[in-house]
Amino acid sequence: MSDTIELRIYYEDTDAQGVVFYANYLKYFERARTEFLRKCGYLQNELLDKNIIFIVNKLDIHYKKPVLLDQLIKIESSLSELKKASFSFNQRVVINSQIMCEANVLCGCVDLETKKPIALPDELRKKMLDKKNAS
């Protein structure tokens, strides 16, 4: 199932030409993944209190068309793979059904103190799987 958030492009998002600066797409995708977790009933600060963090292990991104100042974008996110200690998202930035940028992001579940991989909490894993299978 695909989750969607909307964002407006502001001056702070753009370069001198009024085009979204390439690294800002990473922030947009991060926000969308965070909202996905929120919809699963998990807040980042609550996971942090349990010494659980998520890190980006791998990112494959394709910039297709420029996004400009003041445009309204949708960030669509769908869980593509769920493993014991990692998960992948297919994400894209869309304007009026036109794909502007797309990425595949592999995230790992890590213990905050040891910085070593750990299994996703069982309840979170189940909710993520339920959300994935709902599509």
Average pLDDT of the segment spanning 56-80: 98
Q: Of 15, 70, 111, 130, which residue is the catalytic one?
A: 15
Segments forming the whole domain that contains residue 31: 2-133
Number of domains in the chain: 1
Catalytic-residue membership of 13: no
| Three-class DSSP labels, the chain | CEEEEEEECCHHHECCCCEECCCHHHHHHHHHHHHHHHHCCCCHHHHHHCCEEEEEEEEEEEECCCCECCCEEEEEEEEEEECCCEEEEEEEEEECCEEEEEEEEEEEEEECCCCCECCCCHHHHHHHHHHHHCC
Q: How confident is the model at residue 2 (pLDDT cuts 50, 70, 90)?
A: confident
CATH number at residue 48: 3.10.129.10
Spatial contact of 25 and 99, defined as CB atoms under 8 Å apart: no
Q: What's the pLDDT score for residue 135?
A: 61
**94-129: pLDDT as tens digits:** 999 999 999 999 999 999 999 999 999 999 999 999
Q: CA 120 → CA 15, 67, 112, distances in Å?
A: 38, 35, 13
Q: What's the pLDDT score for residue 119?
A: 97
